[in-house]
Structures are given as C-alpha cells and as structure tokens.
Amino acid sequence: MAGAGSATEVIGGALPLLSRTEGRVADYVLAHMDDVPRLTVREVARGSRTSTATVSRFVRHVGYQNFSDLRLAVARERDMLVGLDERESGDVEKVVRPSFAVGVSAIVLDPRGRVLVGEAALDGHRLLSDDVMRGETLEQAVQRLVRVGSGLEVAGVDYVASRYVPRSNAMVACFACQSSVAGAATAEVAGGLSWVPIDKALLMVNRGSLSHWFLECYRRRGRA
C-alpha cells in the first residue's frame, strides 16, 4: 500500500523511479485528478497513449495495490482540497468523510460456457470489475464495464454474490452474463483477455482473491 501522503505526493515522489511509459501515465493522472475517480484502467491507458498493462504496472510501482485504491486516494485528496478551499474562503467548512464505493464484477460467458478472464499485473488473472458510476444501476454498470473492458455486449445479467472489502471500504457485487456477440467464442478478445473453462479460470486467479471467491460461488450454484 502507498505510504503516507496525498496521491499527488505519492505519485510525485515515485516519478524518478518510473519508466518512460509509466511516466506518461503519471503525467496524465496528475493532469486529470478531477476525472481519475470516474475513469477505468482502459480509459487512462487510452488517454495516456499507453496500455492497460502499463497502467497496472504504474499503479503498483507508485505503491497502490490496484487501480481502485489509486482512484480512492485521488477522490479523497480532491475532497480534502475542496474542504480547505471552503475554509479559507470563509464559507461553511466541509466535513470530509471516508468514501464508500460500490463495485461490480462480471463473470462473462461465451456460447460454449467458457469464462472471460483478464491478466492482472503481478498477481495472475481476474474477472472484469469496476466501480458503479453515479446514476447507474448495478446491471448497467456490468454492461458498461464489459463493453469498455472487452468491446463485447452482454445480456441476461444475473446476480451471483456480493462481498464487503474492508481494505477499500467497498461493497462488490458479482453478476454472470452471456456474451451476445456472434464470434465471441474466439480464444482471444483483446490484449490480456482470454476465454477459458471455469476450472482453468479457478487455477489462473489467486486463490485468496475476490475473483476466485466469486467464481467458486458461481460454480457452487451449479451453473458452470
């Protein structure tokens, strides 16, 4: 986990240790602090003209466990800055409370019943996941994250399980859904994404991870 200090201080302190491409990610994040809490890994990669793998490496190298932790740190910093501005201007002081996030994970299935998993930096594979944006239902968030993360459209979004994550103060709900794109059963959808049988997926993801727990819940329901 990143040491003490704001996200700006943590990233700024790590700049000399970053590669050239990771430095582009750092520059983009620092220039778009107001937007980062609402962006996905893929959107940051696109904005910084890098790859999702580079963004994941950047997140780890500056000291955060994952992209969600970085977004939470940025959101907290922006809240605190707003509070300071209000105090200095003489307006009513804003009380900064810990952020509570709601996230979703997606077990995406192809017509052959295989599961879509993505490669995660340094810790095997994972399911597609993201935070729920303001105004979205959970089902809409699942459809968005799969569309943005893989380019696929999904149908039949079906609740699997949910779990509270104390470290990031977030509740994450998992949904299973079917890819509705003809030809979605190809072995590779995009960089780092693969269709694999659920038994293989359980071997690819970390046993103690949230993705592994969701896959186990899904398999226990007898749907795989």
Look at residue 93 and tell me if it is in a domain.
Answer: no
Closest of 129, 133, 130, 131 to residue 107, by C-alpha: 129
* pLDDT tens digits, 157-194: 899 999 887 766 788 999 999 986 554 444 345 557 88
Number of domains in the chain: 2
For the CA atoms of 133, 108, 124, 62, the dihedral, rounded to the nearest 10 degrees, stands at -10
Which CATH number do you get for residue 68? 1.10.10.10
Look at residue 58 and tell me if it is in a domain.
Answer: yes
- Domain end position, chosen among 88, 111, 146: 88
**Residue 187 and residue 107 in one domain:** yes
- Domain end position, chosen among 58, 88, 118: 88
**Residue 156 and residue 208 in one domain:** yes
**Residue 45 and residue 80 in one domain:** yes
* pLDDT tens digits, 25-39: 999 998 888 888 888
**Residue 33 and residue 141 in one domain:** no
Look at residue 95 and tell me if it is in a domain.
Answer: no
Alpha helices in 115-182 (DSSP H): 138-150
Domain range for 206 is: 101-220
pTM above 0.75, yes or no: no
* pLDDT tens digits, 65-123: 888 888 888 888 776 444 444 444 444 444 444 456 788 999 999 888 899 988 765 55
* pLDDT tens digits, 122-136: 557 889 888 888 788
**Residue 120 and residue 216 in one domain:** yes
